[in-house]
Chains A and B, each alone.
Chain A
Amino acid sequence: GENVEQHPSTLSVQEGDSAVIKCTYSDSASNYFPWYKQELGKGPQLIIDIRSNVGEKKDQRIAVTLNKTAKHFSLHITETQPEDSAVYFCAARPRYTDKLIFGTGTRLQVFP
């Protein structure tokens, strides 16, 4: 079955710097890759996603890139702000299932 690895587990950056979180997946049939932001005590919030027919997607300060050949995808946050501090999860959905397989999460801290 699908397996998703996520790195790093923790990431600390200065406000204004960029942050990059990377995930790799094992099932080449996976075709949907969302990213979620989870704040303390709350449910995950979908922040951006990408499908396998696209290599890059951008939404203001957030971008996601997908390399199907290498089976990895990354989240890029530019001009980080303290309110970006949270736990970020990547996920992959294999083609013939409804399930999302989650990475282990990255705790991002943005220091003012």
Chain B
Amino acid sequence: GAVVSQHPSWVICKSGTSVKIECRSLDFQATTMFWYRQFPKQSLMLMATSNEGSKATYEQGVEKDKFLINHASLTLSTLTVTSAHPEDSSFYICSARDRDLRGGRGHGEAFFGQGTRLTVV
């Protein structure tokens, strides 16, 4: 399958600071990337959908000013957790959807990065 690289794999930061997480599709172009948050022993919660060259679409209840998403190219999206607090501690995972070269929707697998464990102290 295709490779999605997420960096860093873990980070510890002080309360009030900002943290940037990078997500790269290494061997394919991704017009759409997704950011998820996962709590222990729970499913993946979609935070936002990121489209290259346009503003991200946030899910209900997700603060867009706190979780800044930038999708500058077909292979890179970043999530910045601003003014982090202990309650932001979580496992954050990105996903990139393989570009649909045939046009239309309903095609293109989604591949996940290895995740980032964020701990805010």
Interface residues of A in 73-105 (CB under 8 A from B): 89, 93, 95-100, 102-105
Query: A25-64 CB contact bits vs B (8 Å, 1 = yes)?
Result: 0000001101010000111111001010000000000000
Is B6 a contact partner of A97 (Cβ separation < 8 A)?
no
Task: Give the docked Cα–Cα distance between A95 and B106 (Å).
Answer: 6
Which B residues are closer than 8 A to A by beta carbons?
A: 1, 4, 6, 32, 34, 42-44, 46, 49, 93, 95, 97, 105-107, 109-115, 117
User: Nearest Cβ in chain B — how far from A3, in angstroms?
Assistant: 12
User: Nearest Cβ in chain A — how far from B45, in angstroms?
Assistant: 9
User: Which 3 pairs from chain A and chain B are nearest by CB?
Assistant: A43-B112, A43-B115, A43-B114
Task: Give the docked Cα–Cα distance between A51 and B104 (Å).
Answer: 15
Query: CB-CB < 8 A to A93: which residues of B?
Result: 106
Is B49 a contact partner of A44 (Cβ separation < 8 A)?
no
Is B111 a contact partner of A46 (Cβ separation < 8 A)?
yes
Is B93 a contact partner of A44 (Cβ separation < 8 A)?
yes
Which A residues are closer than 8 A to B by beta carbons?
A: 31-32, 34, 36, 41-46, 49, 51, 89, 93, 95-100, 102-105
User: Nearest Cβ in chain A — how far from B97, in angstroms?
Assistant: 6
User: Nearest Cβ in chain A — how far from B111, in angstroms?
Assistant: 6
Query: CB-CB < 8 A to A46: which residues of B?
Result: 1, 109-112
Please indicate which of the listed interface residues B43, B49, B93, B105 has the most CB atoms of chain A within 10 Å of its own CB: B43
Is A97 a contact partner of B105 (Cβ separation < 8 A)?
yes
- A and B contact pairs by CB, cutoff 8 A, 30 listed: A32-B106, A42-B114, A42-B115, A43-B4, A43-B93, A43-B112, A44-B44, A44-B93, A44-B112, A45-B1, A46-B1, A46-B109, A46-B111, A49-B109, A51-B106, A89-B43, A89-B44, A93-B106, A95-B106, A98-B34, A98-B105, A99-B34, A99-B46, A99-B49, A100-B46, A100-B95, A102-B43, A102-B44, A103-B43, A104-B42
User: Nearest Cβ in chain A — how far from B84, in angstroms?
Assistant: 20
B97 — nearest CB in chain A belongs to which residue?
A98
Task: Give the docked Cα–Cα distance between A89 and B46 (Å).
Answer: 14
